[in-house]
Structure formats: C-alpha cells, structure tokens
C-alpha cells in the first residue's frame, strides 16, 4: 500500500450499484405493471452502496491510499476543484438535455405518455431551477434530473471533506467524529422542522438526512483497509454473492422493513452494503473482474445520469412505435438496460473523460 492503485473490484461494484438504480427506474406502466416496491428498494440500496464507496474513496484519494493521518496528499482547493470537475460538467449537460426534453414534450408531443408527463413537465423549463440543480442548491425542491438528490448529498460530503483538509484535521478518526457530530447536530436542529433554521441555513435539512451517516461508514472502511483487516477469500466470496439477494429477501418478506424508522437506510441498508463493499475490497488482488465490467464501472457515473434522462423516452418510443406488441416486459427491460449502458459509456468516453482531462490541466 505504498502508493495509490486502482481498485478493480470497487470499480466493478460501482457498475453493479449503477445497474441496480437503472433497473429500479425502468418504466413498466405500458405493460400494465405499476410501481414495484422491491425494485425501488433495489435502487435505493444501489445508492447506499455508492455512498459507502465514496466514503472510502475520498480519504483514499486525500491520503494517497497509504495512511489515515499526517499530511494530506492534496490541498483543499485542489481536492474541491477536482471533485467539481469530476461531477458538474457532465451533470450540467445531462440536466440541460432534461430541460430540452421538457421543452420538446410541451411543444411537440400532443399526447405524452404518463412517464413522459411525469419526468418532463413544463415547469422544468426554468433557468433558475437549472442553475440551482447544477450547483446543488435546490434546497427546497428536487433537482431537474430527479436522481440529482444523491449528488447533492455527495457534494455536501465533498465540501465537508475539503473543509477538513483546509483546517488540517489530519487524523481520519477526528474527521469521522466531526462529520458524524455535524450530521447529528443538524438532525437535532431540524427535527422539529424549524423554519428559522431552514431560512438561515437552507442546506441544513439536506445535511440532516440519515443517509449522510453512510459516508462515515465508508471512511471507517478505509481504516480497515489500511489495517489489512480483510475477510478471508471464501467468506468474502460468499458475502459478495449473497449480500444483494439476502437484502432483497429481508425487505420483500418484511424481515427488516421499517426497522429503524427514518434511519432504516443507513442502519439496515448500510449494514448490508458495508459487508458487500468489504467483501469486494477483501478480494482485491485475488479475483479480478472482466475488463468490460471494469470499464462499465469506470463509466458508472455517466450511466447513472444517462438512465435518468432516457428511461421515460425509451418507454415512449415503445408505445409510439407499437413495440410493446412485439416484446414482453423482460425483453423491454433488457433493451432499456443495454441502451442506458451503451449511451452512458459513449458519454463517458467522448464527453465526461475528455472534459475532465482538459480541465484538470488548470488545477
């Protein structure tokens, strides 16, 4: 661990998490299928996996993958700007295409399907809303690209970590404690829906979301990694194979459903996700995923964003061209999934990466 290296199993797990979210947002109404609660749980679980991975990767980057105390390997300014470069450009582009989608639906589609009407109402044709969305300041409403709420939490975590670097809070244990303290205090201050707090500190409600705690779980995972506290291969393989099916079974049969109330996601979903990420990390250097899976993991951010843009459009095309008469729901899901991955990969290769590489020259 003398130098930072690519963690291929974590890359693969990023793709799996993205795939879970993509599948959860498949529009199935044209086949007479309404919202499937377990699919929603699958997507939410994918997001929690992402958050734990982020909580692990950020100190991995800041400390160079070889320590958890002492001097950071990057300045606060460079760290923050690299996060901005990584997140915002492609998100701004996809969000602009969302606004364009709303414009097209308003002016050129006389009979929108329910998914089109839901995802792209004319209210999203708004410059103010667009700017709030791409700067993660949409405190009082969803982002234009509705899955953007997850990026708002990610960006708050990045901003917090940049602050910790700036004040030279050099031990990761202190960072974890302070981050958790801030999150809990935010919960206390907003528990009674205090309008004065929201008016003065509009970000406080987002900071108080229980999911923020999951980032601290990822930071703890980084310390386990440094200690070499990894699972044995057989145990890791077993957990990696079973953690998603076991989670789904526990939720489907109401074994864990609603445990923890508002804290159900970090406590229960976070528990399963933590072990899944730990298992993947434990197999690093022992089992290497296929190159395609590693690539899709690298493209997972663009895939994640792209599916939110196209899911309603794929459904619309199937209805408009009568394709539902020639396909069952499983074929539809497969085609939608392939389109999401393919288009996301193209955006990753030809837009996301080139822009990031160009902008990094100025940081």
When divided into structural domains, the chain yields a total of 1
d(CA 173, CA 150): 25
What pLDDT, on a 0 to 100 scale, did the predictor assign at position 192?
A: 76
| 145-172 pLDDT per residue, tens | 999 999 999 999 999 999 999 998 878 9
Burial annotation 79-116 (CB, 10 A radius, 16+ → b, else e): bbbbbbbbbbbbbebbbeebbebbeebeeeeeebbebb
Question: Which range is least confidently modeled, 181-185, 230-234, 340-344?
Answer: 181-185
For the entire predicted model, the pTM comes to 0.94
Residue 4's pLDDT band (cuts 50, 70, 90): low
Residue 3's pLDDT band (cuts 50, 70, 90): low
Distances (CA, A) of 253 to 45, 91, 162, 242, 258: 16, 37, 42, 16, 12
Rg (CA), the chain: 21
Q: Is residue 1 part of a domain?
A: no
CB 31 within 8 A of CB 329: yes
Residue 363's pLDDT band (cuts 50, 70, 90): confident
How many residues belong to the chain? Answer: 363
What pLDDT, on a 0 to 100 scale, did the predictor assign at position 247?
A: 97
The candidate with the shortest Cα–Cα distance to 278, out of 227, 312, 320, 240, is 240
Domain containing 144 equals: 8-360
| 281-315 pLDDT per residue, tens | 999 999 999 999 999 999 999 999 999 999 999 99
Percentage above 90 pLDDT, the chain: 82
Residue range 119-141: average pLDDT? 96
What pLDDT, on a 0 to 100 scale, did the predictor assign at position 257?
A: 85
pLDDT at 197 over 90: no
d(CA 24, CA 317): 19
Q: Is residue 2 part of a domain?
A: no
Q: Is residue 36 part of a domain?
A: yes
Q: Is residue 250 part of a domain?
A: yes
Mean residue pLDDT across the chain: 94
pLDDT at 1 over 70: no
| φ, ψ dihedrals at 362, nearest 5° | -100, 0
Question: Which range is least confidently modeled, 6-10, 29-33, 98-102, 142-146?
Answer: 29-33
SS3 257: coil
| 213-271 pLDDT per residue, tens | 999 999 999 999 999 999 999 999 999 999 999 999 999 999 998 898 889 999 999 99
């Amino acid at each position: 661990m003398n130098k930072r290296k690519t963690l291929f199993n974590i890359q693969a797990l990023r793709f799996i998490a993205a795939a879970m979210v993509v599948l959860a947002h498949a529009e199935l109404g044209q086949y007479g299928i309404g919202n499937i609660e377990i699919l929603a749980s699958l997507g939410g679980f994918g997001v929690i996996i992402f958050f734990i991975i982020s909580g692990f990767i950020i100190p991995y980057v800041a400390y160079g993958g070889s320590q958890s105390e002492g001097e950071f390997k990057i300045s606060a300014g460079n760290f923050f700007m690299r996060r901005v470069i990584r997140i915002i450009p492609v998100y701004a582009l996809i969000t602009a295409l969302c606004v364009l989608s709303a414009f097209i639906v308003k002016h050129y589609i006389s009979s929108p399907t329910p998914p089109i009407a839901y995802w792209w109402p004319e209210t999203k044709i708004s410059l103010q809303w667009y700017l709030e969305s791409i700067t993660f300041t949409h405190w009082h409403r969803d982002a234009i690209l509705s899955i953007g709420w997850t990026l708002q939490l990610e960006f708050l975590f990045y901003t917090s970590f940049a602050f910790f670097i700036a004040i030279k809070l050099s031990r990761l244990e202190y960072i974890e404690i302070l981050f958790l303290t801030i999150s809990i205090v935010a919960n206390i201050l907003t528990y009674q829906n205090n309008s004065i707090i929201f008016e003065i500190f509009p970000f406080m409600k987002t900071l108080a979301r229980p999911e923020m705690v999951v980032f601290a779980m990822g930071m703890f995972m980084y310390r386990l990694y440094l200690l070499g506290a990894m699972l044995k291969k057989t145990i890791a393989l077993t957990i990696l194979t079973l953690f998603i099916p076991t989670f789904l079974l526990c939720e489907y049969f109401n074994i864990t459903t609603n445990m923890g109330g508002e804290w159900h996601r970090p406590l229960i979903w976070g528990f399963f996700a933590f072990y899944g990420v730990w298992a993947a990390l434990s197999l690093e250097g022992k089992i290497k995923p296929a190159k395609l899976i590693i690539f899709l993991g690298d493209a997972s951010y663009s895939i994640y964003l792209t599916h939110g843009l196209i899911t309603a459009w794929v459904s619309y095309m199937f209805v408009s061209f009568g394709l539902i008469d020639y396909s069952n729901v499983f074929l539809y899901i497969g085609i939608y999934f392939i389109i999401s991955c393919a288009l996301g990969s193209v955006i990753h290769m030809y837009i996301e990466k080139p822009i990031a590489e160009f902008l990094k020259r100025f940081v």
